Amino acid sequence: MKSDHKMRLAAYYNPTGHHVASWRHPRAEADAPTNIKHYVDIARTAERAKFDLIFLADGNAMREANMEALCRSVQFVAHFEPLTLLSALAMVTEKIGLVATASTSWNAPYHIARKFASLDHISGGRAGWNIVTSQQDAEARNFSQEHAYEHADRYDRAREVVKIVLGLWDSWDDDAFVCNKDSGIYFDPTKVHILNHKSERYRVRGPLNVPRPLQGYPLLVQAGGSNDGRETAAQFAEATFSPHLNISDAKEYYDDVKRRMVKYGRDPEHMKILPGLSVIVRSTEKEANADFELLQSFIHPMVAREILSTMLGEIDLSGYSFDEPLPDLPDNDSGHYVSILAMARKENLTIRQLGMRVAGARGKNVIKGTPDQVVDYMEEWFLKGACDGFTIMPPYIPGALDDFCELVVPELQRRGLFRTEYEGRTLREHLGIPRPASQYASRRSRAAE
Amino acid sequence: MKSDHKMRLAAYYNPTGHHVASWRHPRAEADAPTNIKHYVDIARTAERAKFDLIFLADGNAMREANMEALCRSVQFVAHFEPLTLLSALAMVTEKIGLVATASTSWNAPYHIARKFASLDHISGGRAGWNIVTSQQDAEARNFSQEHAYEHADRYDRAREVVKIVLGLWDSWDDDAFVCNKDSGIYFDPTKVHILNHKSERYRVRGPLNVPRPLQGYPLLVQAGGSNDGRETAAQFAEATFSPHLNISDAKEYYDDVKRRMVKYGRDPEHMKILPGLSVIVRSTEKEANADFELLQSFIHPMVAREILSTMLGEIDLSGYSFDEPLPDLPDNDSGHYVSILAMARKENLTIRQLGMRVAGARGKNVIKGTPDQVVDYMEEWFLKGACDGFTIMPPYIPGALDDFCELVVPELQRRGLFRTEYEGRTLREHLGIPRPASQYASRRSRAAE
Ligand SMILES: Cc1cc2nc3c(=O)[nH]c(=O)nc-3n(C[C@H](O)[C@H](O)[C@H](O)COP(=O)(O)O)c2cc1C
Ligand SMILES: Cc1cc2nc3c(=O)[nH]c(=O)nc-3n(C[C@H](O)[C@H](O)[C@H](O)COP(=O)(O)O)c2cc1C
């Protein structure tokens, strides 16, 4: 059991929410993707509720889908770039952590190091980097390539890029800048380090032209379920957003990743595992269910079929009627294929029914109910050691976020499961994850032994 | 003579100021490079004075110099990354334009397009891009290359990158996002455009995953004196920061660049030429001179000699005594070589004296005097058609910026040379430069003719 025994909460924001038809909900802000006022409001909402951090996902392309489905959808179409957005939000918040996604496939390590270091200084030590490898060919095509890198290659690159970025963040010792007007010395020249990284893929000399981040390193975040993904998490990640749908899968992941940390000499407490949870909470179960049905009613059948196709592993369903059952399909190694097929056969669902079912959750863990029901659920996962807290994914924003903050957070606090005030100042302090020493500092102390 | 006959003013901020020893001045903020409060203050100061824009220079490396000189210096050592910084400043200002530098050599066009589009939305239409080609080998070495690209190649790349970025900004028509909750249509699929740019250097498919910038395109800014630089400016730039030291050179540049615009079908009014000007202003000439001498007294001889070496075209002077005259030197094609040599011979200066002289200005146009003297000078350049305004480069910050805003701006306003209130809302509106139509809009209207 953790020492302070409190959950950590991340607020994962898609512009209008995580439900595929979120933007049509009366309590969603339809023009959210480039409405800065909307983001200011929802950042402050999460900070008032004492969330540990805000998290923004990202991709470097418009999502690929057939146009008839895409034009009814807001997810990954066009929206603020997350780093510029979080910098802006740093100025209208004081405590909450700010985690942006950046791809190790499509960003030069020098730029990643620089921008996150800068955000860390601007925000007073609240930056985090969600490390992703980018699986979409659509992204590759915006960077002069045809295809995303292969899975193993992607993770090899990710590990190398992380290593370079950490090295660049250590370019300057914490006390390198003396700024002494009398002596005229601006920095201590013995406290700057040239990285000189050289491999087949990258030659990066350094030093970084930003002082060492306030947090030492911005928080390292990751979300990857494969063996490579778990291994990378165990090696580097200080928080993970895991996608498990039930407590036993979540606990398997939790125990596995924390066990893997040991071989990298890491303390399992120094990673917070925060499974995603999409919550619809109302004072009665009936209202919560009705709200979910309202969201479902906004899904166009075309969108439902598109998502079903994708989740079955890019199987083309456009030739079939909406009101037929799913046809016999070739086998497929998509993670969702088996469970979706089982659901379809068991309940004898039409393509339309199955599509709506799948589209409403899209692989997320969705829970609807009263404040007590939601908190019971969260408490069980937490106390049984399936997580260190949750990544809250409001199905529509701001409405469902407001509900969570007004109804769930106070109950979590009442039960002593969540903070009532920020204890620290930096994101690492919120999460209880120590500030890393520079790799040069440990070399120095080893040399002195 | 321009229709509204008002100067435009840009505030060009180096963290602690443009004088090489700026940071040691009692009225400079020594820890400015990562002090966000300092930047908030100076952004608001420029906005109160109704400056058109703030400009941040940038490079992707620590400056290369010998360590004994470098460690006494703050310029291009370690500081905020400009785009993350300007996003933050967008939230604490309302009207002033925000121009950041980004290199066409070391940034993927998709990232440039995305980040500036995002900043333009965040700031309500106040973003500008200073297009630079990056001459330093030190930058190349942070991006897996040994050397900066050759001059002509750099400008070829710059033109191609600008073309791609403009194309990406046009990915979405201005009215593409209908966000109609009733019909369920989020965007009009006929209003998204796939760029599909293909060349030997770049293959960029698009569309950009950010809606068209509020200004159509963020303002395009450039500063390059060579023939290629002028040609690129004439083709694209809507503002230039030119570095001329006297009115006749400035006028030659002004007339030449505006003349070149015509062959690209552009209206010469649609570019504002803003020569750099470093101002020390005090109520008396004596005080102004004393303030400059104070700054000069802070320059370490090592720093002076380093800058002298650089400006003579990387000639090593470390073997000579500070108190000897300049030795006979091999010829050199650096832009400053001839004038510095002439100055040295004419006044028979020692290396120390010459170094201090050169280091105090570093190729900038420095003017010291009373408010009337400064405004007379600026008025003459403006009325004689040598410029459309100025890029003010405070020698130390915040002190010399405060002086300029308190003493010079009111006198400019009294003479009717500068605005007393912002007339518009966007950076383009401040400068009187029209919002560009999408390239697809003009194709459509041509097709309809
Ligand atoms: C909660 C969550 C958030 C994610 N956010 C992003 C993201 O913003 N951008 C992205 O490219 N991938 C994102 N991913 C995808 C993961 O980075 C990873 O590629 C995916 O989970 C597949 O894992 P694997 O490659 O280890 O099989 C996210 C995954 C999860 C579970
Ligand atoms: C006022 C001014 C500001 C500049 N800012 C930058 C900058 O931020 N980053 C950069 O790499 N170069 C900068 N430059 C350099 C120019 O982009 C250009 O490379 C230089 O003036 C040489 O021009 P040329 O290549 O046409 O000969 C600046 C130049 C001037 C005059």
DSSP per residue, A40-101: HHHHHHHHHTT-SEEEE---SSPPP--HHHHTT--TTSS---HHHHHHHHHTT-SS-EEEEE
Residue with tokens 């297009």: B131
* CA–CA gap between residue A225 and residue A213 (Å, rounded): 29
Strand partners, B366: B278
Decide if A141 touches B, using CB distance below 8 A: yes
Query: What whole-number percentage of chain A has pLDDT above 90?
Result: 84
**Residue of chain B with shortest Cα separation from A213:** B34
pLDDT band at A214 (very low <50, low <70, confident <90, very high): very high
Enumerate the residues of chain A whose CB falls inside 8 A of the CB of residue B90.
88
Q: ∠ CA A130-A134-A136 to the nearest 5 degrees?
A: 145
**Interface predicted TM-score (ipTM) of this complex, two decimals:** 0.96
Strand partners, A239: A221, A272
Decide if B37 touches A, using CB distance below 8 A: no
User: Measuring from atom 9 of ligand 1, which residue has the nearest CA?
Assistant: A58
pLDDT band at A444 (very low <50, low <70, confident <90, very high): low
- Contact (Cβ atoms closer than 8 angstroms) between residue B169 and residue B216: yes
- Ligand 2 atom closest to Cα of B139? 11
Decide if A72 touches B, using CB distance below 8 A: yes
pLDDT higher than threshold 80 for residue B335: no
Integer angstrom CA distances of residue B429 from A298, B217, B255 = 41, 13, 24
- Say whether A268 sits in a helix, a strand or coil: helix
Answer whether 0.90 is exceeded by the pTM.
yes
Rg (CA), chain B: 23
Q: What pLDDT shows up at residue A319?
A: 86
Token pair for B80: 């905020």
- Half-sphere exposure of residue A97: CA atoms within 13 angstroms, side-chain side: 31
- Is the CB of B133 inside a 6 Å radius of any atom of ligand 2? yes
Q: What is the pLDDT of residues A261-311, one digit of tens each?
A: 999 999 999 999 999 999 999 999 999 999 999 999 999 999 999 999 988
- Is the CB of B227 inside a 6 Å radius of any atom of ligand 2? no
Domains and CATH numbers, chain A: 8-170+209-286+364-433 (3.20.20.30), 300-359 (no CATH)
- Ligand 2 atom closest to Cα of B222? 17
Closest ligand to the CA of B154: 2
* CA–CA gap between residue A394 and residue A291 (Å, rounded): 13
pLDDT higher than threshold 90 for residue B173: yes
Q: What pLDDT shows up at residue A175?
A: 97
- Contact (Cβ atoms closer than 8 angstroms) between residue B284 and residue B370: yes
Contact B84 A84 (CB under 8 A): yes
Contact B72 A114 (CB under 8 A): no
